[in-house]
Chain A
C-alpha cells in the first residue's frame, strides 16, 4: 500500500514537472506581449525594454523557470515593482492584475469549488440513481425514459442548456436571480440561488454517462453467481442488491468520477463563461489571452494537480471499495 502510494506520488510529481515545463514553454511561444499591454498610452521602446528587464523577462529562460519553481518551494523576492518578498508557496505576481497570483486564487478557487462540488454530487447522485433504478426495472417504460433522458443530456451543449435555463428561469419566469457568486458563509441562500442553474446544467450533461454505466454494471453484477447465491440463501432483495451488487458495480464509476471531478476542478471555463461567473477557468483563459506568465503557470499547474491527485485518490478508493483489488 505504502509502496504503491510512493510510486504513484513520484510519477505524479514527474507529470507535474513535465506539465510545468510545457506551460512555461507555451508562454514563451505565445505571439503576445504582456508588457505591451501594460505599457499604456505614452509607451515607447525604451520603456518597454526596461519593463521587460524589471519583470525578469530578459533573463535566460532557464533562470526564469528555476526562479519560478524556487518561489513555489522557498519563496522569492519579486522586486519592488511587484510587491517585494513573496511567501511560500509563491505563485508569482500577475502583472496584468497587479496582485499576487495567490490572492487571485484565494478569490477564484472558492468559486470553482462552489460550482463543481455541488454539481458533482448532483450528477453522481442523479446518474447513478437513474442507472441503478433502470437496471432493476429493466425493460420498463421507466428504464427507457431514463436512458432517453440521459442521452438527451449528453447530446446537449452546455452553453445551449445554460442559455435555455437562463431564458426560462431568470428572464421569463424571474424566479431566480441572474447567476452570480456569493460566498457560502455570507449567505447560503444567495449562494445556492446564484449557482443552482450552473449545477443543474452541469449535472444534466454529466449524469448521462453515469446512468448508462451504472445500469450496465448493475445488470452484469446482478447476473453474477454470488448475488444469486446471496438471494438463494434468503437475503432480502434490498440487502442482496445493496450490500453485494452495488458495491461491485460502483468500482468503475469511481474511476470516471475521479477524472471528471478532477478535470472540472481545474476550471469550468464554459460554465463560467455561459453564466458570467469568474472562477479558475475564466481566470486561466484570460491569463493566456493577455500573456500573464505567472497566472498561466499557476492555473495550469493547479488544474494538473487536481487531476493527478484525483487519479491517486481513485486508485486508493478502488482498494477500499473492492477488496479484490490489490495495490502494488
Chain B
C-alpha cells in the first residue's frame, strides 16, 4: 500500500513477505491445532501477547483507570507550569501525583492522557485493519478467480491507489469532509473524525491484502479440489467463499495481525502532521508532535509518549511475527 509515504514500515502488508498457504488439511491433528501449539511454545509470542492484552485492557478500561488515578485527561494544572511554559521541577514535572509528569503549556497529566491515547489509537487501528482486510479479501478473490477484464480493472485500481500520495490526499480530504458535514457553529465530533480516518485508511490500505489474496487465488484456482467443485456444479459463491477462502486464512490472519501495528503507526503519523486527531482529544501522534517542540527543555515528554507507543507497536509486531512462525513453520527456524 502506498502508506509507505507515511514512512512507516507496514510490516507484513507486502504480499511477497507472506508465505504461500499450506495445502489442504493433512492427516492427524488439524493445522490450526498445530499452529496453536507452536505459538504456545514460542516464548516471545506469549510474552508479547500478554503485553498486547494488557495494553488493550488498559485502553478499554481507561475511565476506570481515571477513577483510580484521580485525574482526568482534560484537567489542567497550570500552577505547576513555570513562566517559560515548561513544567516546574525535575524530569518534566514527574511526581507521585503525576507519574509521567505534565504537558508543557497547558499542564495536563501525561499519564492519563497516554492511557486515553491508547484507546483512540487501538480503536482506529483495529477498525481500519478489519475493514481493509475484508475489502482486500473480497476484491482479491474476485479479481483472482474471475480474471479477465475484472482482474484488469481491479489491478489497475490498485496501481492507481498506490500512485496517489496518501498524505497529501488525507490532508486535503480531512477539512473538506468536515466542512461538508458540519455546520459552521458545530463542534466537529471526535467520533466523526475517527470515522473519516478509518475510511481514509480503508481507501488506501486494501490494496496490499487484495494483491496478496489475488496472487494466492490465481495459484489455487487450477488446483484439483477447485476443479472438482466446479465439475460437480457448485455455484460461484460456493467456490469463492467455501472452497477458496478456507485455504487463505493463514496468510490473511498474518496480514491482519501485522496490519494493526501498521495502522497504529499510521494514525499517529497523520495526527503528528495535524491531519487526524486534534487537541484536546488525547492521542499519541499529537503528543509526540507537540513534544518535539520541547525536546531540549523537557525531553521526558517525548520519552514517555514515544516509549509507550513503541512498546505497543512492538508487542503487536512480535506477536504477529510469532503468529507467522506458527502458521508457516517453513519461514523461520
The answer to whether any beta carbons of A and B sit under 8 Å apart in the complex is: yes
> A interface vs B, CB < 8 Å?
11, 14-16, 18-19, 22, 26-27, 29-32, 138-139, 147, 151-160, 163-164, 166-167, 171, 202, 205-206, 208-209, 212-213, 216, 219-220, 252, 255-256, 259-260, 263-264, 266-271, 273-274, 281, 284-285, 288-289, 296, 299-300, 303-304, 307-308, 311
What 9 pairs across the A-B complex have the smallest Cβ distances? A160-B306, A252-B16, A155-B314, A31-B179, A263-B4, A155-B313, A304-B163, A26-B172, A154-B9
The closest CB in chain B to the CB of A259 belongs to B4
> B interface vs A, CB < 8 Å?
2, 4-9, 11, 14, 16-17, 19, 156, 159-160, 162-165, 167-169, 171-173, 175-176, 179, 261, 265, 268-269, 272-273, 288-289, 291-292, 295-296, 299, 302, 306, 309-310, 313-314, 316-318, 321, 330-333
A269 adjacent to B6 (CB under 8 Å):
yes
Q: How far is the CB of B1 from chain A (nearest CB, A)?
A: 9
Q: Please, how many angstroms separate the alpha-carbon atoms of A230 and B313 in the complex?
A: 42
A19 adjacent to B163 (CB under 8 Å):
yes
Q: How far is the CB of B265 from chain A (nearest CB, A)?
A: 6
B316 neighbours in A (Cβ, 8 Å): 155
A219 adjacent to B331 (CB under 8 Å):
yes
Q: How far is the CB of A167 from chain B (nearest CB, A)?
A: 6
Given contacts A151-B321, A300-B165, 5 further A-B contacts (CB under 8 A): A15-B156, A157-B269, A158-B269, A209-B11, A219-B331
Q: Please, how many angstroms separate the alpha-carbon atoms of A20 and B291 in the complex?
A: 36
13 contacts between A and B (CB under 8 A): A18-B160, A26-B176, A163-B302, A167-B295, A213-B16, A219-B332, A264-B4, A268-B7, A269-B7, A269-B167, A284-B165, A285-B171, A303-B165
Q: Please, how many angstroms separate the alpha-carbon atoms of A267 and B168 in the complex?
A: 10
Q: How far is the CB of B100 from chain A (nearest CB, A)?
A: 15
In-complex Cβ contact of A271 among B7, B288, B318, B333 (8 A): B7
Q: Please, how many angstroms separate the alpha-carbon atoms of A138 and B331 in the complex?
A: 11
Q: Please, how many angstroms separate the alpha-carbon atoms of A102 and B175 in the complex?
A: 28
In-complex Cβ contact of A266 among B5, B14, B296 (8 A): B5
Q: How far is the CB of A196 from chain B (nearest CB, A)?
A: 17
The closest CB in chain B to the CB of A280 belongs to B165
B288 adjacent to A157 (CB under 8 Å):
yes
A288 neighbours in B (Cβ, 8 Å): 168, 171-172
Q: Please, how many angstroms separate the alpha-carbon atoms of A255 and B18 in the complex?
A: 14
Q: How far is the CB of B90 from chain A (nearest CB, A)?
A: 17
A216 neighbours in B (Cβ, 8 Å): 17, 19, 331-332
A31 neighbours in B (Cβ, 8 Å): 175-176, 179
In-complex Cβ contact of A270 among B9, B14, B172, B272 (8 A): B272
A166 adjacent to B179 (CB under 8 Å):
no
A299 adjacent to B168 (CB under 8 Å):
yes
Instruction: From B261, B309, B330, B331, name the one whose CB has the most chain A CB atoms within 10 angstroms.
Output: B331
The closest CB in chain A to the CB of B316 belongs to A155
B17 adjacent to A160 (CB under 8 Å):
no
The closest CB in chain B to the CB of A255 belongs to B16
B156 neighbours in A (Cβ, 8 Å): 11, 14-15
Q: Please, how many angstroms separate the alpha-carbon atoms of A144 and B226 in the complex?
A: 40
A15 adjacent to B9 (CB under 8 Å):
no
A15 neighbours in B (Cβ, 8 Å): 156, 159-160, 163
B168 adjacent to A264 (CB under 8 Å):
no
B261 adjacent to A155 (CB under 8 Å):
yes
The closest CB in chain A to the CB of B168 belongs to A284
**Given A209-B9, A269-B273, A32-B265 contact (CB < 8 Å):** no
A154 adjacent to B306 (CB under 8 Å):
no
A285 neighbours in B (Cβ, 8 Å): 167-168, 171, 273
**Given A14-B156, A15-B156, A158-B16 contact (CB < 8 Å):** no
In-complex Cβ contact of A157 among B14, B17, B273, B306 (8 A): B306
Q: How far is the CB of B157 from chain A (nearest CB, A)?
A: 9
B16 adjacent to A157 (CB under 8 Å):
no
B16 neighbours in A (Cβ, 8 Å): 213, 252, 255-256
A311 adjacent to B159 (CB under 8 Å):
yes
A14 neighbours in B (Cβ, 8 Å): 156
Instruction: From B165, B291, B333, name the one whose CB has the most chain A CB atoms within 10 angstroms.
Output: B165
Q: Please, how many angstroms separate the alpha-carbon atoms of A266 and B172 in the complex?
A: 17
A156 adjacent to B162 (CB under 8 Å):
no
Q: Please, how many angstroms separate the alpha-carbon atoms of A202 and B6 in the complex?
A: 11
Q: Please, how many angstroms separate the alpha-carbon atoms of A308 and B158 in the complex?
A: 12
**Given A14-B156, A205-B7, A288-B172, A307-B261 contact (CB < 8 Å):** no
B268 adjacent to A157 (CB under 8 Å):
yes
B289 adjacent to A159 (CB under 8 Å):
yes
Q: Please, how many angstroms separate the alpha-carbon atoms of A137 and B332 in the complex?
A: 12
